[in-house]
Structure 1
């Protein structure tokens, strides 16, 4: 297997499985996607550390493919001592890339921790570890759902980048215009680093609607209506989703996007079908 990166910045996100069967399945997904020579894999976290150990274990398993693997790291609900310990563990494990996020406060936790925002986490990582880690942060082309305005969200994004982030990965979206507008506005604020669009393959309308309502990603009305019309026809939904997402990816790349980051939901086939369609 070649470990040379794809010329585009292709990358894939996984979540830590919580069963042996899920872990076995993920290793097969990892191997299938590793054939596309991604720039990196990433692994999500549990806020406040609820699954941080599972994140590290999953990162270590995924890294056996020979592909750089980046754990997500959140700051809300955590103290600096705990974050410092986690950074030490990651360094000792040979990890040199992180996705730095604010995260959500877990239910039942009273305090938000010593760091409130992602820019503070980026600054903390840089202060503790210098340039050891390549750091990615999140971007929201359609605005963070908790942001008071699009302008404020842009300012917060620029603050994260200027705190020491190397690149950004966006929340998923289905409007290429939203991405291009966000990038244009970010550049006007002095952000020069790559902003990689996040891509969500469409395979299940119910799950997609639930995810989108929770994270503020807009599903255009025409896509919602078509998905609703297919009802329980999972094959028709997958075919339509493949067409919509493939067209989106092609337009993004044609417009100068530096790569694509796929939210795989620990599945290989939907992402591979899109990559085949766009010649990646």
Structure 2
């Protein structure tokens, strides 16, 4: 009889491998099978050198691997004695269907552990340089997906009335309706931001106000995957928005000055040697 294996539900963070936890790295190194989501840095497979890699991508608006099939794969390999690591982008417990997978694994009596990751909402806030809560502006944050199981939408007006920072996932295809719903409660000057590919090398962002949310994101060419923020705490991002580009410009100037100084020093050295 095979020894029972186990399943690790692992959050791989938003796309930067440097944001993996040490516990995640240890689990990957011990993996026999990786079930890999689409929104995961492909370089993560190098951290699981002996694992069989099975890609089970799930992307909104794209052809996806059926959830029931993923659950059967996890159970099948674990019951054969394998250590299965189910790798998801962000954190497994936030919009990652972990509840369904935990239920399936427990029903099959498969041991399971959870390794948290950094959700894209936190990586996006870090990129913007803002706190999602702020004693002067709000005392809470609401994480919400724009897509309900019945293909409906959340009650945006009610969410806006909470006074919390709204971190909206999977909302880019509905950004105009989201903005319209929030504007029924919030002022059009309410700070807003969008961060695409948060924490990844391809990251892009826009900051502005709720009244220009849809048009601003469109003009910036932003799409999925992205996190949309709305709330007074995001005003800190607007205050420092102009500074985002300045360090890059200054860096080029400083680099040019440094190169010029090095060349001048080299010319002096050669002159003295001659």
The TM-score, its normalising length taken from structure 1, stands at: 0.28
**Higher CA-based Rg:** 2
Structure with a larger share of its residues in helix:
1
- TM-score scaled by structure 2? 0.28
